[in-house]
Structure 1
Amino acid sequence: MTRRQRTLLLAFVALIVVAVLAFWLLRKPAEPAPPAGATPAGAKGAPPARPALTVSVARPEQSELNVTLAANGNVAAWQEAIVGSESNGLRLAEVRVNVGDVVKKGQVLAVFSPETVNADVAQARASLAEAKATAADAAGNAARARTLAQTGALSQQQINQYQTTEQTAKARVEAAEAVLAAQQVRGRNTRVLAPDDGVISARTATVGSVVAAGTELFKLIRQGRLEWRAEVTSAELGRIAVGTPATVQSASGAQVQGTVRSIAPTVDPQTRNALVYVDIPNVLQNTGIKAGMFANGEFQLGRSNALTVPQAAIVPRDGFNHLLLLQPDNRVSQLKVETGRRVGERVEILTKLPADAQVVVQGAGFLNDGDLVRVNSVSPGAGKP
């Protein structure tokens, strides 16, 4: 091999080495130089991780909450009186009340035309006067006959006839008085009166109509009282007693306070529910509660102690409720809990919590299990309900 060939071969080898070296340098990224005073990662004294969020925490509280029993049922009139006509074949001349009017016992609701009855009363009075005149004449004849009985001027048979005529006349007077009294009752029945205090709930009376005796003219909610007929299961029935307070709420959101008046003595064999009757007084003041409505409500059974947390601390996830508990290292742990009663901004926790538990309140919904947090404030929680 000549000198020139060896030179070319060495130059070609050197070119290949330079190309390989350049490729290796370009492929490996250069690591930035750490700043002055910084400690390499993984070395002792590394800076702590940054908190994910600044939160506030609170401690669970022991609160006294109401013990309630929820139920559903219909609202109905306590008693609904049907006011009908006692007169037969008379024309209705005047109707003085309408649906919703408040009436007092004995108040005139409607008036029938009295002309026919007045004529019958007058005729009965005339018949009574005639009977009394006849009775007076018969009594005089019988008295004279008894005077002559000792003289023998009249036979005993004639005397007995006079006495019988006297008694018959007296009986006719009594019959005429009874007829007059009946006609006078008919006259009083031309005025339809309220049987009790209450509120008119229905009216079928129409001026000018001729109605038969017993025809319904009005319906009256007696004393303006409604009742909630709550359906309670047989298993819960023993927790309710007469006098238990209850809160009734209609579909419109109107609420009214009532009291248990009575409990049905039997249970429906189909539904296994019993009716509990709750008095709702002052129907006019409770404008949001009407007869015929469907309503739900709660029976107030007393009070009991409960462990509660602020409602903002409850985090619903995956169909369950969770609390985020603050750990000593300022990380949070997620705990699935069972909730109970809710009063205001407090929620009862049925799951047992650690004695020194602190729950995240503000910002709980943005955290996950194991997140590091910065605690802004620790509060005892919202005030007791």
Structure 2
Amino acid sequence: MKLSRPKAALAAFFIIVAGIAAWRLMPGSGASAGTQTPPAALTVSVVEPQYRQWPDTIEANGSTAAWQEAVIGAETGSLRITEVLADVGSEVKRGQLLARLADATATADLQKQEASVAQARANLEQAESDLKRSRQAADSGALSAQKLDEYRITATVDRAVLASAEADLENKRIALSQTRIVAVDDGIVSSRSALLGNVVSTGTELFRLIRQGRIEWQAEVDAQQLARIHADQSASVTLPNGKVVDGKVRLVSPTLSTNTGRAIVYVALNGHDAQPGMFASGDIELGNVQVLTLPEAALVPRDGRTDVYVLNRDGATVERRTVVAGRHRDGRCEIVSGITADMRVVASGGGFLSDGSRVKVVEQKALASLAAANSAAQGGAL
């Protein structure tokens, strides 16, 4: 019995539909495999956080200043500057001549006083000679006791006059020495107000020295940091030109400012690379401490936070974890909180992942070889 054409076409349609359905239900078919295992989003390697011994430091900012400044001024007045022998930046030694004042008047006064001393000494010698002769005459009864007392008093007065003249002579010598302006200590001239021909008054500042050329960094710290800092701790200071200078804590301020609530830590710097008035940042080393670290490449900065991707226990998906990052050192970053040491973290490429992404984990060396092969293939295609 033959089927009609419409019935034959309908039967053929059902046979085709049944065949397609059977193919879709076959194990290993494309549609079935797609619904069972989604493809991996990225091939990655993982690392475990490591504990490292890092220096425990306190970061601070502050300005540089002279350890101590010495002010050199005129000790005598109404004298003209006749010679200037030092300028700003000059390295000088203690007692070195920096400037000279007009000394003609002081020299003349000194010579006059020397003559007065010579005259007083001669008068004293005469009085002592008269006293000696009068004593001999008094022993023989040829001179009264009253006259002998007069000679004795005259000798005493002349002795006092000589002492006064010698004291005045010393004053004149001091006045003459004050016309020589000398360095009070070894150091570097930081300012000079002495001008040739200028008439100075007593106490006028002529030079200012950085004593012994020593510069220090005055770091500002808060009360919590201050409690951990003490003298002789090491420090490193970064100058505005990028150069790093070593130093050591010389003094810790015992009080905090009532205006800012901060204290000053005085750090003596080594060398002459710093100049007073620089604003510098630096670290004060407190000792070594054990910290948990990750490679910097594992960190993913995003929207003001720092994320890492941790491999889940299934070994195929990742979980996003927000961490608190600390200091950076030698290509690694301190992790303050957010992960533990037993977690496995995606080593790099986290910026292409999201929470719950599927990944394929390979060894670090295999991933490097794969990246090199891809680069070579792209180069050959070009």
Aligned to 1:43, the other structure's residue is in SS state: helix
User: Equivalent residue for 1:224?
Assistant: 213
Aligned to 1:160: 149
Q: Structure 2 CA distance, aligned partners of 1:265 and 1:370?
A: 54
In 2: Cα distance, 1:226 partner to 1:45 partner? 72
* More helix by percentage: 2
Structure 1 distance, partners of 2:218, 2:309, is: 43
Does the 8 Å contact 2:324/2:338 carry over to 1? Answer: no
**TM norm structure 2:** 0.82
Query: Are 2:54 and 2:290, in contact at CA under 8 Å, matched by a contact in 1?
Result: yes
Distance in structure 2 (CA, Å) of the matches to 1:61 and 1:274: 36
Mapped partners of 1:44, 1:97: distance in 2: 90
In the TM superposition, what are the counterparts of 1:133-148 in structure 2 within 5 Å? 133-148=122-137
Unaligned runs of 5+ in 2: 1-19, 366-382
**2:224 matches 1:235:** yes
Q: Which residue number in structure 2 is paired with residue 18 of structure 1?
A: none
Tell whether the 8 Å contact from 2:223 to 2:256 is kept in structure 1 after alignment: yes
Structural mapping, 1:1-385, within 5 Å: 40-43=29-32, 49-282=38-271, 284=272, 286=273, 289-327=274-312, 328-353=314-339, 356-378=342-364
Contact 2:49 2:340 in 1 (8 A): no
Letter in 2 for 1:188: S
2:320 is paired with a residue of what secondary structure?
Answer: strand
CA contact (8 A) 2:134 2:143 kept: yes
Deviation at 1:212, TM superposition (A): 1.6
- Code of the aligned partner of 1:100: G
CA offset at residue 308 of structure 1? 0.8
Larger mean CA deviation between 194-203 and 48-57 belongs to: 48-57
TM-score (norm 1): 0.81
CA deviations 1:12-61 (Å, max 9, x no partner) are: xxxxxxxxxxxxxxxxxxx9xx9xx9964443697954433333332221
Amino acid at match of 1:221: I
| Gap change, CA 1:249 and 1:93, over 3 Å in 2 | same
Flag the 1:47–1:273 CA change in 2: closer, same or farther, 3 A: closer
RMSD: 2.6
Deviations 1:128-179 (A, max 9, x none): 1111222222222111111111233222222211121111112222122112
Cα deviation, 1:295-342, whole Å, max 9, x if unaligned, reads 332211111111111111100122211112234443332211121222
Partner Cα distance (1:336, 1:88) in 2: 73
What amino acid is the match of 2:101?
F
Shift of 1:244: 1.3
Aligned equivalents of 2:96 and 2:61: distance in 1?
37
Measure, in 1, the Cα distance between the counterparts of 2:32 and 2:184. 97
CA deviation after TM superposition for structure 1 residue 235, in Å: 2.5
Larger Rg: 1
SS at match of 1:172: helix
Distance 1:265 1:357, change over 3 A: closer
Structure 1's 264 and 246: CA in aligned 2 closer, same or farther, altered over 3 A?
A: same
Deviations 1:257-309 (A, max 9, x none): 21111222222233332222211243x2x1xx321233332211111111111
Which whole-Å CA distance do the structure 2 matches of 1:360 and 1:39 have between them? 31
Cα 1:148–1:329 change in 2 (3 A) is: closer
8 A Cα contact 1:39 1:46, kept in partner = no
Mean CA deviation greater in 289-298 or 173-182: 289-298
Cα contact 2:294–2:332 (8 A) shared by 1: yes
Instruction: Provide the rounded CA distance (Å) in 2 between the counterparts of 1:135 and 1:338.
Output: 92
1:362 counterpart SS class: coil
- The answer to whether the 8 A contact 1:134-1:169 is kept is yes
In 2, Cα distance between equivalents of 1:167 and 1:347: 90
Q: Which amino acid aligns with 1:324?
A: Y
Q: 1:79, CA displacement in angstroms?
A: 0.9
Alignment partners' CA distance in 2, 1:356 and 1:201: 59
Q: Does the aligned pair in 2 maintain the 1:65–1:303 contact within 8 Å?
A: yes
Provide the rounded CA distance (Å) in 2 between the counterparts of 1:93 and 1:355.
76
Taking the aligned partners of 2:360 and 2:38, their CA distance within structure 1 comes to 11
Distance 1:49 1:75 in 2: 62
Shift of 1:376: 4.8
